Amino acid sequence: MSGKKTITIRDSSESHFEKGELLSVSRYEDGFYFCTIEVESVTPVLMSELTELHAAQENMTLDELKQVISEIYPGLNELYVISFHIR
């Protein structure tokens, strides 16, 4: 893990995490463990409010970020930015 990705953007079903909470990160498909992260904050954001900074924190361009989010959460406008650091 290079540490380039410092946020993840999720829907309301994953907005309940709290600052300081430790989470194991694994691949959805097969459960392969990557690392443990510590949540720094959970902040609501609208799709229209996403910026180049959000994209850089996700390690992609803004267009790529909006495309990926649209594919994962079609038609969803209310999202949550989960900021974290690797433990």
Residue 71 annotated in active site? no
Per the residue annotation, which of 5, 21, 40, 66 is the catalytic one?
5
Among the listed residues 3, 37, 40, 35, the one whose alpha carbon sits nearest the alpha carbon of residue 19: 40
Per the residue annotation, which of 21, 49, 58, 66 is the catalytic one?
58
Among the listed residues 54, 73, 50, the one whose alpha carbon sits nearest the alpha carbon of residue 7: 54
Per the residue annotation, which of 6, 8, 21, 66 is the catalytic one?
8
Can you read off the two tokens belonging to residue 57? 């924190």
Residue 5 annotated in active site? yes
Residue 66 annotated in active site? no
Catalytic residues: 5, 8, 58
